[in-house]
Homo-oligomer: A and B are copies of this chain.
Amino acid sequence: MDETATETAGRKRPIRGKSNTQHAVEVLKNLILENRLASGSNHLESELAEMLGMSRTPIREATLILEAQGLVEVKPRHGVRVLALSSEDMAEIYDVLTELESLSAELAARKKHPSGEFHPAEQAIQKMDDALNAGDLEAWANADELFHSELVRLGGNRRIGNICRMYGDQVRRARKVTLHLRPKPTKSNDAHRDVLQAIRNGEAEQARKIHRDHRVQAKLMLVSLLEQYGFHTV
């Protein structure tokens, strides 16, 4: 009990440069993405506050932020509800990502890039190859994610960056379910390599088309997997 009291007292000020609100956002987001706060479950502010060892104030602020990001819904007397992700939801999200990432590929191809600008994207592809050879799907997924965010960065539209980052969280959530059900993603690496080459060559329409086709394929596969396996786990 003693140490608990001390801890609680000590936790008043944030550990290091990070407000309790920010901390709560991170922790709650992780809990949701890890599926440790189940979809559809309701949680009272006071419950979350106690769970994270802080008062309701930063919790409220955090839930507002998470609500704006579409991860939870705040229902006045019913607590914070973690939003479920149906296969329809994922289809919607994939459509948005497909569109905006393809546009990013096009935009990236139209721009002049300083040398070395493509290095992170190349590295991501390399990591994907390595991970695939090693049979490490988690590593592959991380590298894949990295490539997609690089693509968006190269496109240079920061708003697209924000949107894709936001929905990226949700895709990660679904990926937990699908990653080990899907066929080995050998074609992804090729597609990514091709997009990058098209961007380098300044072939805007081509870059867009390649990425778009790749994304459309990925969506079809993912959504059918989710429908097949019910997706009640997410």
Binding site for B on A (CB under 8 A): 57, 60-61, 64-65, 68-70, 92-93, 95-96, 99-100, 103, 107, 157-160, 162-163, 167
Contacts and interface: CB of A to CB of B under 8 A. Distances in A.
B100 A96 contact: yes
A16 B162 CA distance: 35
Quick one: copies of this chain in the complex?
Answer: 2
13 contacts: A61-B64, A64-B64, A64-B68, A68-B69, A92-B157, A92-B159, A92-B160, A95-B107, A95-B157, A95-B160, A96-B160, A99-B100, A159-B167
Contacts of A95: 103, 107, 157, 160
A162 B65 CA distance: 15
B103 A70 contact: no
Contacts of A163: 96, 163
A103 B65 CA distance: 28
A179 B65 CA distance: 33
Given A68-B69, A69-B68, A99-B103, A93 B159 contact: yes
Contacts of A93: 159
A162 B70 CA distance: 10
A184 to B, nearest CB: 29
B70 A68 contact: no
A65 B157 CA distance: 22
Given A61-B61, A96-B157, 10 more contacts: A64-B64, A64-B65, A70-B159, A70-B162, A92-B159, A95-B107, A95-B157, A96-B100, A99-B99, A100-B100
A95 B157 CA distance: 9
A92 B158 contact: yes
A80 to B, nearest CB: 14
Nearest to A160: B96
Contacts of A103: 95, 99
Contacts of A69: 68
A159 B93 CA distance: 7
A159 B70 CA distance: 9
A57 B68 CA distance: 18
A68 B70 CA distance: 11
Given A61-B60, A61-B61, A159 B68 contact: no
